[in-house]
Amino acid sequence: MRDHGGNLDAARERYGEGDWIDLSTGINRVPYPLPAIPAVAWTALPDRAAMAGLIGAAQAAYATGAEVLPVAGAQAAIQMIPRAFPAGLARVLGPTYNEHAAALRGAGWRVEEVGEISALGGADLAVVVNPNNPDGSCHAPEALRRLAGQVGRLVVDESFADPVPELSLVSDPGRALVLRSFGKFYGLAGVRLGFVLGDEAAIAALATLAGPWPVSGPAIAIGCAALADRGWAAASIARLQDDAGRLDGLAAGAGWRLVGGGHLFRLYDTPDAAAAQESLARRHIWSRIFPWHERWLRLGLPAPGEWARIEAALRP
């Protein structure tokens, strides 16, 4: 089932309009402040110089010399990768973001979802989300590099890795394809920007599918500015870490047990996830539950002005 967070329209239909706090995604609630966007970004097709500037900004931010392909969000890469290589057996480490398996099946791959990283070996293509969504579980880069030698192609989705660069393969992807999301950490999901990093041949194959203008001019301008602002990134990581601890404390007071999470979302075991979601929704706070686990509820981290409502909603 391809269920997702961010489905606030469903919440409004059931619980009414109002001032909603959407914590159903892992998108930073304190977005990067939009820079001034040159008029030419709106009126002209992105040229090679603009694309090269964005690629350079990504390489600098991720401290890598690897080949980089900008795409319209990590989701675009998830859709393209199954079609860039001959279909065969794909194994996905789960439970995880459900679009990987769905996109592979849609492109004719035989897909097996496995629960242990050791079970990925031997696949023609293997997918690991690191850190994982929704439980935040992580795998060391050394383990992933070993795995890359045991499969035909390894895809590592690092959509939530900005706050934990020590876990990332971007500095040296080797035989892996690494996906990075821009919209989640920078809080600008509507920009639709992401990156694929990998070897020259794989990136060339994906670039052919992506076409000549895979991202917009405004996305290039915003991405270049945000990726270069390392001060904002450092301050955001520190704030998110503090906020994660604060939310965990409130959840514990409500009788919920921390299962996992990262800097952008937390996952809790509740007595009844559907009931917990409904209780929050009646206060116009939207959360994420999962059809395959009746006790798990995921919350993104509130913005500074939203904490009072969260505290009131979780007060015993």
End residue of a domain, out of 190, 210, 228: 228
As given in the structure block, the two tokens for residue 308 are: 């009072």
Q: Are residues 213 and 306 part of one domain? A: no
Please report the DSSP string for 39-93 in residue order. HHHHHS---HHHHHHHHHHHHHHTT--SEEEEESSHHHHHHHHHHHS---EEEEE
Domain count, the chain: 2
Residues 52 and 150 placed together within one structural domain of the fold:
yes
Sheet holding 176-181, edge to edge: 67-71, 194-198, 176-181, 154-157, 125-129, 89-93, 110-114
What is the per-residue pLDDT across 21-50, written as a single tens digit (0 to 9) for each? 999 999 999 999 999 999 999 999 999 999
Question: Is residue 53 domain-shared with residue 169, that is, in the same domain?
Answer: yes
Tokens of residue 159, six digits: 């959509």
Does 1 reside within a domain?
no
Between CA 28 and CA 11 the distance in angstroms is 20
Does residue 1 carry a pLDDT above 70?
no
pLDDT of residue 2 exceeding 90? no
Q: Which helix (H) or strand (E) holds 210?
A: helix 200-210
For 251-303, how does the pLDDT look when each residue is reduced to its tens digit (9 = 90+)? 999 999 999 999 999 999 999 999 999 999 999 999 999 999 999 999 999 99
Question: Are 227 and 195 a contacting pair, CB within 8 Å?
Answer: no
**CATH code at position 288:** 3.90.1150.10
Q: Is residue 3 part of a domain?
A: no
Q: What's 106's domain CATH number?
A: 3.40.640.10
CB-based contact 111:140 (threshold 8 Å): no
Residues 61 and 25 placed together within one structural domain of the fold:
no
Residue 71 in domain: yes
Find the DSSP H helices in 62-195.
74-84, 99-106, 141-148
In this structure, the answer to whether residues 20 and 117 fall within a common structural domain is: no
Range of the domain at 269: 8-30+231-314
DSSP 288: E
**Is 126 in a helix, a strand, or coil?**
strand
Q: Are residues 49 and 144 in the same domain?
A: yes
**Is 292 in contact with 113 (CB distance < 8 Å)?**
no
Q: Percentage of the chain surpassing pLDDT 90?
A: 98
Whether residue 237 sits in one domain with residue 117: no
